[in-house]
C-alpha cells in the first residue's frame, strides 16, 4: 500500500512518515500543493493524507483537481481548522475523512486502515492462488488459511510479485520496491528475501521462480 503525505510542517511530516512506515506502508512526502498535484497525476497511490494550509496550491485546490480527474483515491484531510462548517466543507469537496490537529498517531493509523479497507471495497481484499492467500489491506499472508509471519522486507517483495503474478519482476524493480519502504536493499538482500519466502509459502501450491535468471516470478507449482 502506497500513501502520499502532503504536509508543509517538516517535523510533522517526518513523524507521520516514520509512523506509517513502521506500520508497513510505503510512504512518500511532499511539502507543497503544486508538487502534490503533479505527484497525483504521475503516480498511483492508495491513500492521500492532505494538509489544507499548503504553499503554492492549497489543500482544497489539490482535492478539487484530484476529483476533477475522476480519481477515487481516498483522502484524509489533516487540519488545524476545527469548526464544524470547515469539516463539512472538506467532506463536501470530496474528502473521505477529516482529522483535526493535534491528534494521536494511533488514531491516525486507525483511520488510515479504515480508509484503505473502504477504498479497496471495490476490489479484492483477499488475493488467492491455490492454497495461498493475501489480505491486501491488513498485509497478512496465509497458507491453507493459517497466517504466516513475514518481515517488512518480505512483505514488500511478496506484494511486488503478487501484483504481477505469473509475470517476471526484475531484481532491480524489487530493489526499488524495498527502497520505497525506506529499507536497505541490494541484490543480496533480495536473494535472501526470496529464499525465505520460498520456505514460508511452501505447501501452498505456489513458489517464486527465477526464469532464466531474468528476475523473479510468483507462479503456481508445476504438477
What pLDDT digit, counting tens, does each position of 186-200 carry?
A: 778 888 999 999 999
The CATH number of the structural domain formed by 2-121 is: 3.40.50.2300
Architecture (CATH level 2) of domain 126-220: Orthogonal Bundle (1.10)
Mean pLDDT of 71-78: 90
Q: Considering the entire predicted model, what is its pTM?
A: 0.60
Q: What is the pLDDT of residue 201?
A: 94
Mean pLDDT of 29-53: 91
Q: What is the pLDDT of residue 120?
A: 57
Mean pLDDT of 40-50: 89
Distances (CA, A) of 45 to 110, 130, 164: 18, 28, 17
Rounded distance, CA 5 to CA 22, Å? 15
Rounded distance, CA 30 to CA 36, Å? 6
Say whether pLDDT at 182 is over 60: no
> Mean pLDDT score of the chain, rounded to an integer?
86
Q: What is the pLDDT of residue 183?
A: 53
Q: Are strands 75-79 and 97-100 parallel, antiparallel or unpaired?
A: parallel
Rounded distance, CA 14 to CA 175, Å? 23
Q: What is the pLDDT of residue 119?
A: 62
* Extents of the domains making up the chain: 2-121, 126-220
Say whether pLDDT at 181 is over 60: no
Closest CA to 141 of 162, 116, 110: 162
Say whether pLDDT at 76 is over 60: yes
User: Residue 54: left (phi > 0), alpha (psi -120 to 50), or beta?
Assistant: beta
Q: What is the pLDDT of residue 142?
A: 94
Q: Which residue has the higher pLDDT, 123 or 158?
A: 158
Instruction: Write the CB contacts of 62 (distance below 8 Å, at least 6 apart in sequence).
Output: 6, 33, 36, 37, 40, 50, 54
Say whether pLDDT at 121 is over 60: no
Of 65-69, 128-132, 212-216, give the lowest mean pLDDT range.
212-216
Instruction: Provide the pLDDT confidence category of residue 125 given band limits of 50, 70 and 90.
Output: low
Instruction: Provide the pLDDT confidence category of residue 184 given band limits of 50, 70 and 90.
Output: low
Residue 132 host element (H or E)? strand 132-135
Amino acid at each position: 500500500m502506497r500513501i502520499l503525505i502532503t504536509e508543509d510542517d517538516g517535523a510533522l511530516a517526518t513523524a507521520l512518515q516514520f509512523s506509517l512506515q513502521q506500520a508497513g506502508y510505503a510512504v512518500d512526502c511532499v511539502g507543497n500543493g503544486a508538487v502534490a498535484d503533479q505527484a497525483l497525476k504521475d503516480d498511483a497511490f492508495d491513500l492521500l493524507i492532505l494538509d489544507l494550509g499548503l504553499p503554492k496550491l492549497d489543500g482544497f485546490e489539490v482535492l478539487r483537481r484530484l476529483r476533477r480527474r475522476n480519481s477515487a483515491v481516498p483522502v484524509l484531510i489533516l487540519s488545524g481548522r476545527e469548526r464544524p462548517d470547515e469539516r463539512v466543507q472538506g467532506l463536501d469537496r470530496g474528502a473521505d475523512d477529516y482529522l483535526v490537529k493535534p491528534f494521536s498517531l494511533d488514531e491516525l493509523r486507525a483511520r488510515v486502515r479504515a480508509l484503505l479497507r473502504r477504498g479497496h471495497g471495490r476490489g479484492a481484499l483477499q488475493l488467492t492462488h491455490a492454497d495461498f492467500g493475501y489480505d491486501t489491506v491488513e498485509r497478512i499472508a496465509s497458507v491453507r488459511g493459517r497466517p504466516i509471519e513475514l518481515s517488512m522486507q518480505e512483505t514488500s517483495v511478496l506484494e511486488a510479485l503478487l501484483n504481477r503474478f505469473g509475470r517476471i519482476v526484475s531484481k532491480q524493480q524489487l530493489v526499488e520496491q524495498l527502497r520505497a519502504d525506506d529499507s536497505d536493499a541490494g541484490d543480496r538482500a533480495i536473494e535472501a528475501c526470496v529464499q525465505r519466502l520460498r520456505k514460508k509459502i511452501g505447501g501452498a501450491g505456489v513458489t517464486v521462480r527465477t526464469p532464466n535468471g531474468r528476475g523473479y516470478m510468483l507462479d503456481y507449482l508445476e504438477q
